[in-house]
Amino acid sequence: MVKAAGPGRPPTSVDIARVAGTSQATVSRALNGGRVAAATRERILAISRELGYTPNAAARSMVTSRTGLVGVVVSDLTNPFYPEFLEEIAACLGARRQHMLLQNAAGGGDREAVELLLQQRVDGIVFTAAVEGSEAVADLVARRFPVVLANRVVDAGCDSVEGDHPAGAAAVVDHLAGLGHRHIAVLAGLPGASTSARRLAGIRDRLTSLALPAPDVVETGFDYDRAVRAATELLTGPQPPTAIVGLNDQVAFAALNAAAALGVAVPSRLSVAGFDDVRQASWPTLGLTTVRQPQVAMAARSVALLNERIDDPDLAPRHEVLPAELIVRSTTGPAAS
Amino acid sequence: MVKAAGPGRPPTSVDIARVAGTSQATVSRALNGGRVAAATRERILAISRELGYTPNAAARSMVTSRTGLVGVVVSDLTNPFYPEFLEEIAACLGARRQHMLLQNAAGGGDREAVELLLQQRVDGIVFTAAVEGSEAVADLVARRFPVVLANRVVDAGCDSVEGDHPAGAAAVVDHLAGLGHRHIAVLAGLPGASTSARRLAGIRDRLTSLALPAPDVVETGFDYDRAVRAATELLTGPQPPTAIVGLNDQVAFAALNAAAALGVAVPSRLSVAGFDDVRQASWPTLGLTTVRQPQVAMAARSVALLNERIDDPDLAPRHEVLPAELIVRSTTGPAAS
DNA sequence: GATCATGGTGTATACGTATACATCATGAAG
DNA sequence: CTTCATGATGTATACGTATACACCATGATC
């Protein structure tokens, strides 16, 4: 195969060396801060700029065995929880000259997502809201591959960061109970979704310790459309609840919208609360009462933990819990008689 | 350097060959569908599975000079326009076994984003809402690097896909004019943002052809917080408009929220309309009147155009316009007297 | 003036894969 | 039996980079 040398192929460090009259090794040193005579370095940098040289990350990673890429697996990009979270992740990574490789594991099948990330030889992976007992995650952990679970509980002895679900759940229940609600419904995720499970457990615990009736629970898989249908059924049923708690803000919004579509007044006839405190929750037009999760802090800690583990795979697994806080807005009020 | 051979290093095709007693070339052929005896292929696949082999994308790309990665540059992840758009992009890419490398060009500085994507040797880049006359884009086009602009106008003779901004703008103006509005304000992006500029021009054109007064225009850079402040100023000023058009849904929501915070009733005292028809626009709690952009189709066409160009860089630049459609909901009504 | 540290550079190699080319066995076709 | 196409495999190489090692010149140190 004749070397095309056409303008199509991007210039390499060898091309620079040829022009500069040095060896390729010197070019590499000049570009990466090795010992090079000042004059030589200047010349090489100038030529590099002129040629429009861009280092080939693939070639570099082959010799350094580090890519500087970090995989991030999300379950549903349309969940408004993610934008801020991802922006913060990207920002934290940028500070260490790393970059984010985002994968959307639609429908809980994270197998393929992980496969791609491994092919790209990412240095580590942040999972958000992966399904409990995910085989893919377990495999990675078994291989001692750097993994951090964000916004979900420990499962296979790897690092994790989550909000204080019991405290948050207790706060919502206290708030609603204080308003006189006794018939509470919950829109939950799938049974295997750990975040959902922990929040639900927290709600149940608090209700029983307050000697209140157990909640109606509908598992919607955190899917917006299914949550709307579920809320509609609840509200048009024989014994509609006086309060609905969405285990994340997305399904709480679904409840709000179902109520609006049915003409059920909020908060006078129905109270709605969520979890996460997504940006839209604070909009005056929505004003959702919700349990704030420190998304930014969660992203920052996830990246920090991941990098510590990348640097030292032998660390003992760590589990961080960030404080949760109830934000009362305008979707909750005294229970209707 | 002694070859570590530890369990830390992922297995390679050479490792498989050693176990299988074949050459590395045969392993490669077996895994990629080359001519290999059925028995041999079976054995190799089994060993591959057992060892947990994952092909090294970097090494592969070095020899094939294709990475299967496509860069996507967005300007603001928190814009609700993106989630669906990105999901569709990912879906279309997946069908061709390609993958998305997402870059958030915060603050309009797309230079760094492009730099990273080039280092990763992406096969092509989809830009969304890049700033008009971006040097980074111009450079790429000059180098004949495959580029598609989504949701923005042609600038440097490269492929692009956009909504029908003039038609959409005309539809909103007609709608508002028909409701009796004569004092219309517009929340725009930055002057260099082409989408914003085209929509604004469309609005101005239609207003003048209807012999209506020119709109008040505030350039907010499509930033939510700035848009809220701008809308608040408009509504508390000496001559508040009877209608506000946001040039995307995000700033339209900002106007809605500013009005709610001020106690300005919508649509009785103020009408609000947007562009994009983001998912939330159809929520009963918001019910935003807006010009629908076919986000899904736009994503699909972008990927299609990009791949055609990757396969044949000599194609003449193409420009596709997708239909826009006004969706009337509950935020627009007859002008207050 | 001999020894030696040191800065600057070139040579050689490894990373993991795909593929062009050569080799060899097998059976069909003449 | 010879010739030849064909299938299966091995050998060798290239991709672009970082870095260990060797080498040389320079000036300092004794």
DSSP B198-228: HHHHHHHHHHHHTTPPPPEEEE-TT-HHHHH
Give the total residue count for chain B.
337
Q: Answer yes or no: is B1 within a domain.
A: no
Residues B148 and B222 in one domain: no
For residue range B253-265, list pLDDT tens digits in order. 999 999 999 999 9
Q: Which nucleotides of C are covered by protein (CB under 7 A)?
A: 7-12, 14-20
Q: Are A272 and A247 in contact (CB under 8 A)?
A: no
How far apart, in whole angstroms, are the C-alpha atoms of residue A224 and residue A217?
A: 16
Q: How far is the CA of B38 from the C1' of D3 (A)?
A: 28
For all residues of chain B together, what is the average pLDDT?
A: 91
User: Which long-range contacts link B280-284 to residues 24+ away (Cβ below 8 Å)?
Assistant: B280/A280, B280/B80, B280/B249, B280/B253, B281/B249, B281/B252, B281/B327, B281/B329, B282/B327, B282/B329, B283/A253, B283/A256, B283/A257, B283/A260, B284/A257, B284/A260, B284/A261
Residues B179 and B140 in one domain: no
How far apart, in whole angstroms, are the C-alpha atoms of residue A317 and residue A313?
A: 10
The amino acid sitting at A302 is S
- Mutate which of A272, A285, A309 to disrupt the B interface (most B C-beta within 10 Å)? A285
**Residue whose CA is minimally distant from D16 C1':** A59
Rg (CA), chain A: 26
Q: Answer yes or no: is B254 within a domain.
A: yes
Which two tokens mark A90?
A: 């990207």
Q: Answer yes or no: is B278 within a domain.
A: yes
Residues B30 and B124 in one domain: no
Residues A189 and A228 in one domain: yes
Residues B234 and B282 in one domain: yes
Q: Do the chains contact at B143 and A84, CB–CB below 8 Å?
A: no
Residues B169 and B157 in one domain: no
Give the total residue count for chain A.
337
Q: Are B168 and B176 in contact (CB under 8 A)?
A: no
Give the per-residue pLDDT at A151: 81
Report residues of chain B scoring pLDDT below 50. 1-6
For residue range A225-254, list pLDDT tens digits in order. 999 999 999 999 999 999 999 999 999 999
Structural domain tally of chain A? Answer: 3
| Domain range for A33 | 13-55
Residues B188 and B247 in one domain: yes
Give the per-residue pLDDT at B190: 86
Preceding amide of B267 cis, omega within 30: yes
Give the per-residue pLDDT at B4: 34
Q: How far is the CA of B35 from the C1' of D2 (A)?
A: 28
Q: Is B261 near strand C, with its CB below 7 A from some atom of it?
A: no
Residue among A54, A87, A104 minimizing CB distance to B119: A54
Question: Chain A contact for B201, CB < 8 A?
Answer: no
Which CATH number is A196's domain given?
Answer: 3.40.50.2300
Question: Chain A contact for B90, CB < 8 A?
Answer: yes
Residue among B80, B121, B284 minimizing CB distance to A57: B121
Residues B289 and B310 in one domain: no
Q: Are A127 and A117 in contact (CB under 8 A)?
A: no
Residues B280 and B178 in one domain: yes
Which residues from chain B sit within 8 angstroms of residue A61, using beta carbons? 58
Q: Do the chains contact at B62 and A67, CB–CB below 8 Å?
A: no
Q: Answer yes or no: is B8 within a domain.
A: no
Which residues from chain A sit within 8 angstroms of residue B286, using beta carbons? 285-286
Q: Answer yes or no: is A119 within a domain.
A: yes
Size of interface A-B (CB pairs under 8 A): 115
Kind plus residue range of the DSSP H or E element containing A100:
strand A99-104
Q: Answer yes or no: is A1 within a domain.
A: no
Q: Which residue of A has its CA nearest to B121?
A: A56
Report residues of chain A scoring pLDDT below 50. 1-6
Residues A144 and A244 in one domain: no
Tally of helices (H runs) and strands (E runs) in chain A:
12, 12
Give the per-residue pLDDT at A191: 82
Q: Is B55 near strand C, with its CB below 7 A from some atom of it?
A: yes
Residues A184 and A256 in one domain: yes
Residues A192 and A250 in one domain: yes
Q: Answer yes or no: is A310 within a domain.
A: yes
Q: Answer yes or no: is B205 within a domain.
A: yes
Q: Is A35 near strand C, with its CB below 7 A from some atom of it?
A: yes
SS3 A197: helix
Q: How far is the CA of B19 from the C1' of C27 (A)?
A: 31
Which CATH number is B20's domain given?
Answer: 1.10.260.40
> Domain ends where: A293, A309, A331?
A293
Determine if the pTM surpasses 0.85. yes
Eight-class DSSP state of A193: B
How far apart, in whole angstroms, are the C-alpha atoms of residue B284 and residue B277?
A: 13
Q: Is A282 near strand C, with its CB below 7 A from some atom of it?
A: no
Which two tokens mark A207?
A: 């209700």
For residue range A73-120, list pLDDT tens digits in order. 998 888 999 998 999 999 999 888 899 999 888 765 688 889 999 999
Give the per-residue pLDDT at B3: 32
Give the per-residue pLDDT at A4: 34
